Chain A
Amino acid sequence: MRRQVAVVAFAQTRHTAGDGGLQEAEMLAPVIAEVRERTGLRRFGFTCSGSCDYLAGAPFSFVSALDAVGAWPPISESHVEMDAAWALHEAWVRLQHGDVDTALVYGFGKPSQADPRAVFAQQLDPYHLAPLGIDPVSLAALQARAYLERSGATEDDLRAVVARSRASGRGNPFALHLPDPGDTGYDVAPLRACDVAPVTDGAAAIVLAAGDTARGLCGRPAWIAGIDHRSEAHAPGVRDLTRSDAARLAGARAGASGIEVAELHTRFSHEEPILREALGLGGGVEVNPSGGPLSANPEMATGLIRIGEAASRVHDGTAGRTLGHAASGPCLQQNLVCVLAGGGHG
């Protein structure tokens, strides 16, 4: 039987649209301090982080970030070269072993230091895609076009997603406060600049705890009722880009039903309707009340923040069952779904 594990603390930076002048570890340290303070924990049974060396421009950049945690006496530590939502999955698996009761998960990114489009072009297959020089926004626009033509939705429908996300983001002290979208012309048609998540620096941390430890650390633990992640073929030409099978499958395996609030890792506006459809989120589900990635997109922390924001709604009692989603790879190639629930699930 699965061990019950909950999100017991979540902290994030006030994200910035440009370089705030801090190194990664300096940016990260206050959020680690915040989750320690909130839980009273100095040390954790396991520590796992998500980051990207290409964003930092340095190999093993996660090692220097460990300075924000303090690694002496030696700690049990791991890292994913992905969004920290996948680090959270690894920590959840680690807690299933039963010998440790707490885990620290964090992610950080400073895409403002480089050209994130060029950085993420490096993740493409080196034989057929990378040599073409195609960037993630151009790939996303191919998917947006395919989705609009299949669904009959219009570019105005995408703009409405952006307007709603930005309005919500202006109510979130941690997000960038962006104006209502204007017509800035196409970035890569059919996507306009506002349809693309902004370049954002930031970091976030989550503490996971199991069973009674979780109950002791948090008044309303956000229990992980289900978590799953799925990946599709990398090549965009072999997939139906208008649908996300990986999100559908991950949602089904994670038990995504009865959801009241969903935080979706929508790096582009058209991804929201594709994900709503894949996850079976009806019109009654509140999506991205934080403003979502279209209001703040600190790479490698953005997906973890979705889980943190979804957990916060359980922590503060405003929702009983929420969903955090993370995505990775071109055109929603990989999807992680984490279903969080309040009392009765412990």
Chain B
Amino acid sequence: MPSDAAPGGGAPRPAPNHVLEFPGGYTRSVGPVIGRFLSELRDGRLVGVRTAGGRVLVPPTEHDPATGDDVTGEFVEVGPAGTVTTWSWVPRPAPGHPLRRPFAWALIRPDGADTALLHALDLGEFEEGADPPRPLRTGMRVRPRWRAERTGAIGDIECFRPEVTMIGSPSRLEYGLRPGRALGRFLEGLCEGRILGHRCAACGRVIVPMSGLCPRDGVPTSQEVELPDTGTLTTFTVSHVPDPRAPGVPFVSGHVLLDGAGVTMLALVAGVPAAGVRMGMRVRAAWRPRGEWGRTLANIRWFEPLDEPDVPLAAIGDHL
């Protein structure tokens, strides 16, 4: 029982042992109507022809397809922008197709025309086999990409492309920051592979990273405490928007309560699938190689799961 054929149709055939070819192809007269269309194409213009009933046919034909009457001699410049009236998506282009990467075929009604022109629509780079991209829609606005060297053929339009409706807007700002006294000290510790906190004289909590103040009591802090690089994940979020610091998408960021600390630290969590991350999970810092360390929290790449039982939520309830 044959199974579904591979897209593209049919089983691979052996190399041809018979080739049917007309050397040089055919020479065809184009006549005054199609000839005018092709001549205008060569000059980079898209024209249609008006019917006796007033409709504009693009591409032009000698006769009105609705009535069979001769068309008028009036040619009308249309488009070149137009609207997609229907489309199909080619995930695996065939050898005869105009583009080597996935693309759409589209019927495009140029502005000012009453009929549609068939052409290829290039939506950019896609991997072979890709599904139709979201922006591809009936009603989409498109414009031709003209070839630099034109000969008077439908291929003088290389393809159509979407009209510009969105732009990328890159943004980059540079700052020189000074960490301040307490945070500077914290970063010095990180340079040595140590995580330093301050113990509040009023409430006794250890604050990490330290800022020189207890956020709870509003009093200055100065008593240094070194903390281990193990802790408990109190809460987390799964992000599907890429971030240059994260290992990939989706990634997890969460609050880690270091053992002995009184406040949580925001950190990335990795080394576990997003679906496997739990509140109360025990974690340990994954440090970058010592040679890459600097005065930055990035010395800790992220936190990874520790092979220990989860901490009951009641035990971290104050930090949720």
Residues in chain A within 8 A of chain B (CB atoms): 17-18, 54, 57-58, 112, 115-118, 121, 126-129, 131-135, 137-139, 141-146, 149, 176-179, 181-182, 184-194, 196, 198-199, 232-233, 235-238, 241
Contact = CB atoms under 8 A, between A and B. Distances in A.
B173 interface: no
Interface stretch (B110-118, B234-242, B247-255): B110-118
A132 B87 contact: no
A20 to B, nearest CB: 14
Interface string B97-139: 1100000011101000001111110000000010110000010
B26 A126 contact: yes
A144 B105 CA distance: 12
A14 to B, nearest CB: 14
Contact of A132 (B65, B118, B131): B118
Among all A-B residue pairs, the 8 with the closest Cβ atoms:
A141-B88, A237-B116, A189-B89, A233-B65, A146-B86, A133-B96, A187-B7, A238-B115
B118 to A, nearest CB: 6
A144 B107 CA distance: 13
A199 B10 contact: yes
A198 B30 contact: no
Nearest to B116: A237
Given A138-B105, A145-B88, A185-B91, A193 B97 contact: no
Contact of B86 (A117, A133, A142, A198): A142
A179 B3 contact: yes
Interface string B52-66: 000001110100010
Given A128-B59, A132-B98, A138-B105, A237 B118 contact: yes
A57 B1 contact: no
Nearest to B65: A233
B79 to A, nearest CB: 13
Looking at A115, A188, A191, the one whose CB has the most chain B CB atoms below 10 A away is A188
Given A127-B30, A193-B6, A57 B59 contact: no
B149 interface: no
Contacts of A184: 4, 6-7
B189 interface: no
B183 interface: no
Contacts, number: 157
State which size class the interface on B falls in.
35 or more
Interface in B1-60: 1-11, 13, 18, 20, 26, 28, 30, 34, 38, 57-59
Contact of B20 (A57, A181, A190): A57
B200 interface: no
A236 B61 CA distance: 13
Contact of A235 (B8, B30, B59, B88): B59
Contacts of B203: none
B26 to A, nearest CB: 7
A176 B2 contact: yes
Contacts of B18: 57
21 contacts: A17-B2, A57-B20, A112-B13, A117-B9, A127-B59, A128-B154, A131-B154, A132-B118, A134-B97, A135-B96, A142-B107, A145-B88, A146-B85, A176-B2, A179-B3, A179-B4, A184-B6, A189-B89, A190-B132, A237-B116, A237-B117
A291 B86 CA distance: 29
Interface in B179-213: none
Given A179-B1, A237-B115, A126 B28 contact: yes
Given A182-B4, A188-B88, A235-B59, A134 B118 contact: yes
A238 B4 contact: no
B132 A189 contact: yes
Looking at A127, A193, A232, the one whose CB has the most chain B CB atoms below 10 A away is A127
